[in-house]
Amino acid sequence: MCRFHRQRQAIALLQSHLGRINRNGHEYAMYTNIIAECFGQLGDSENQRHYLVESAMADFRGVIKENTSLRQLATLLFNEGDVERAYKYLSVAVGDANFFGTRIRNMQDTHLIPQIQRVHSEHLQKERTQILALLLVISIVAVLLIVTIARNRLLIRRYRTANTRVEDVNRLLNDAVRNLKHANLHMSEGNRLKDEYIGRFLDLSSTIIDHADARNKLHNRLAREKKMAELVRDLKSAEYLQELTRMFYLNFDAAFLNIYPDFVDKVNALLLPDQPLEQKKKEHLTTELRVLALIRLGINDNAKIASILRSRLTTIYTYRSKLKARAKDRDNFEQQVARIGTLEAER
């Protein structure tokens, strides 16, 4: 206790003289160094550090290169675990001593130098190891991140491709459903028209049979009554054939226009604007339109067309040539007519 009391007295005495001493001189550095040493003996490291700093700053301002206080400050910091600053201060002190040829008098400080350097080297090595470990972790994370990004981009690309394929399939399915509905409508319409055709065929056949039966009865009666001149005149008459032909045309026109109600408009769309085909009556077809109607039904042979329409072969050929001359596309006109009303033409 007495020793501590004397140290406190020494500190108080020295502190009272500090105000009268030049802060840039060697004397100030010595006083503050002694005060720091006294505080060190008292175990007051905080004040010890403060006065060692004051002493070192006085040495620095007075260009004194002994650097005793700086070395002691380095020792204190080292003991407190502040290796980095201890190494820096000790390096400055040793560097100045070597430059000016000053002998480091404190052997304890001399032995401390390699110890601080060793610990500092260990700290540096530890930091390097930590940095390398951190770099390794960062590299691994970066690689994993790159792999994840690449995988995600691949998955996104696959998803987009799959989505595009699904959209294509859906579009094809929608087209197929639409075509199926259209085909069903055509099939239903075809069945209805088939029934109507059969009815018209039976009606026309029955009418022809009735006409033939009536004509046969007339001829038998004229033969029984010996009216040969009247019989011969009736046999030579063309009225009967003309009536049958007229009935055929009426049935054909009505049936065809019932199947293809816009046939004439579709044909005129294929012709030059200033050369359309006209109907005298909407329910009747002209000979030109009947020729095209038979082509639409798949009859292309001129001889067959002439036979059905009761016309000359040259007449049918002339009609077809004139119709092609009026078409926008002469080379493909009849093929276009043959596709009127089909699914292909509607698409």
Written as one letter, the residue type at 69 is S
For the residues 146-173, what does the mean pLDDT come to?
Answer: 81
Is 9 a member of any domain?
A: yes
pLDDT digit string, tens, across residues 284-318: 898 899 999 999 988 999 999 998 888 899 999 99
Q: Which among 66-75, 110-119, 190-199 has the top mean pLDDT? A: 66-75
> How many domains does the chain fold into?
2
Give the domain range for residue 328: 261-339
Residue 101 lies in a domain: yes
250 in a domain, yes or no? no
Q: Which amino acid is at 95?
A: G
Residue 16: give its domain's CATH number.
1.25.40.10
Whether 281 maps to a domain, the answer reads: yes
Question: Is there a domain that residue 194 lies in?
Answer: no
pLDDT for 107 equals 40
- State what percent of residues in the chain have pLDDT above 90: 15
Burial letters 81-94, b for 16+ CB under 10 A, else e: eebeebbebbebbb
The pLDDT assigned to 156 comes to: 84
Q: Which of 69-78, 200-209, 265-274 has the lowest mean pLDDT?
A: 200-209
CATH number for the domain that contains residue 290: 1.10.10
Whether 153 is covered by a domain: the verdict is no
Q: 50, 74, 108 — which closes off a domain?
A: 108
76 and 45 Cβ atoms separated by less than 8 Å: yes
Residue 190 lies in a domain: no
Say if 78 falls within a structural domain: yes
* 121-153 tens-digit pLDDT: 776 677 778 888 888 888 888 888 888 888 888
Q: What is the DSSP string of 1-68?
A: -HHHHHHHHHHHHHHHHHTTS-TTSHHHHHHHHHHHHHHHHTT-HHHHHHHHHHHHHHHHHTT----H
99, pLDDT greater than 80: no
Rounded to the nearest integer, the mean pLDDT of the chain is 78
Tell me which of 63, 93, 108 is where a domain ends: 108
User: What average pLDDT does the segment 256-279 reach?
Assistant: 89
* Domain end among 45, 77, 108: 108
